[in-house]
Structure 1
Amino acid sequence: MTTTGLIALCLLGTSQAHAQDGRMTLGAVAGTTGAGADLAWRFSERLGVSARYTGGLDWNTDYRTDDVDYDGDVNLAASKLTLDYYPFASGFFLSAGLMLPDIDADVVGRPRNGSYAFNGRTYDAELLGTLHGKATLVDGVQPYAGLGWRQAHRSGFGVFAEIGVIPTDPDVSLRTSEGFEDMDNPLSAQLRQEIRQEEQRLEDEANEWPIYPVAVVGVSYTF
């Protein structure tokens, strides 16, 4: 083989090796945190970084405790930044990093038979008004771990799928629309205590789900 041919062969091999690295993949995804976009940069055969944002997933639900019936408007959104490891140099990857979720619900407590009952004590709904609150399942930066498939090892269209988990950190706040619990009388002080206990009951029930499942699917294109 001539020197020119050898150089050309080396250049071709180098070009093909680089074609396996530095690939960008853009995906449209939807799942348990809403719908959005996923962007990944696979800077080597086995390593890459990715970022994703999903949101816009809202729905109405109802919930019942021993004392109050609740209507809730649930809102979900999340963004994440992770390091991705491709152990087989294919599309399968393991992912670890940080997620910024915002999963909460605006809740309204409805009286039963014209009254609220807390711990066996009854309060007239006309006096208290409506019970309003916010229930947050998780908010703020949380660690994330997952696994999935991304068509990042070759150019063109492909499918995208990922499952993972984040820890939850429930928080619940409640108050009455008439602000009766803020008034300066013994009954108001008792009501404040009852409402704090109701908040704690709701948080304890939410803590039965220590992790939130993250699952998304979609389509992608690798450049």
Structure 2
Amino acid sequence: MHLKTLATLLLAVASVSTAQAADGRYSLGVGATTLGYGVDANLRLSERFSATASWSTFSVDGDVDTDEVAYTGELSSDNASVALNWHPFAGSFHLSAGLVAGDLQAVVTGTPVAGSSYTFNGQTYTAAQVGQLRGEVVIKDNMAPYAGIGWRSQRKGLGAYAQIGVMAARTGVALSATGMLADPRLAADLEAERASLEQEVDLSLYPVIGAGLHWRF
């Protein structure tokens, strides 16, 4: 992943911002978004442009069900981002474009909805035949583009910010079973289930919504 690259950019924004702190163009904040909770640094570059660098993380248990299988597991995220913001009215409102890098993944185990059997691609298998069913959902792209709108107070001292946007990235799903691994029919039907699961948990347009507090120096 390119977390190191974005971390370097984040430090660059912070170091440049420190030099500008005296004129109130620099702020540090904490907040939470659908990418996690974390910190950010913002630098007002000019009347109509600013830059933001952030880092966030989270982990949460959850479940996803298809017609055949109930999946339960953990969704986790650990990422860094940078964005250039355009303030069309030279105020708090802005439009943003940037990049997000890091990991967004879910690791799940499956149990049959029917209780003692699975149905993959119209074919029925017992739980003993399938064994343990394990899936993993990941974002394939090392860096994903982000676009959104936001609001960030410009007065010195304590303020607030909010954002809403979308991250575009390709989603990949892996699915494996410990039983009957040499059975070509099970392998083909399991691949059909993997494709179905990939549609169910599509993260290709991931909403990024959040808010937080910051201190402008």
Q: Deviations over 1:24-82 (max 9, x none)?
A: 111101121110001011121211211011112x2222222222221131113332111
Question: What SS does structure 1 have at the residue aligned with 2:187?
Answer: helix
Q: Residues 1-223 of structure 1: matches in 2 within 5 Å?
A: 23-56=25-58, 58-111=59-112, 112-136=114-138, 139-151=141-153, 153-178=154-179, 180-181=180-181, 183=182, 188-207=183-202, 210-223=204-217
What is the identity, as a one-letter code, of the residue corresponding to 2:206? Y
Question: CA contact under 8 A between 1:36 and 1:54: conserved in structure 2?
Answer: yes
Question: CA contact under 8 A between 1:21 and 1:45: conserved in structure 2?
Answer: no
Q: Extract unaligned runs of 5+ from structure 2.
A: 1-19
What is the identity, as a one-letter code, of the residue corresponding to 1:76? S
Based on CA coordinates, which of the two structures has the bigger radius of gyration?
A: 1
Taking structure 1 as the reference length, what is the TM-score of the superposition? 0.79
Name the CA distance, whole Å, in 1 between partners of 2:140 and 2:104.
6
- The percentage of counterpart residues that share the same residue type is 38
Name the CA distance, whole Å, in 2 between partners of 1:34 and 1:210.
18
Which deviates the most, 131-140 or 34-43? 131-140
Name the CA distance, whole Å, in 1 between partners of 2:61 and 2:155.
42
Taking structure 2 as the reference length, what is the TM-score of the superposition? 0.81
Question: What SS does structure 2 have at the residue aligned with 1:136?
Answer: strand
Q: Extract unaligned runs of 5+ from structure 1.
A: 1-17
Name the CA distance, whole Å, in 2 between partners of 1:222 and 1:22.
6
What is the identity, as a one-letter code, of the residue corresponding to 2:207? P
Question: CA contact under 8 A between 2:24 and 2:216: conserved in structure 1?
Answer: no
Moved >4 Å (runs of 4+): 18-22
Question: What SS does structure 1 have at the residue aligned with 2:47?
Answer: coil
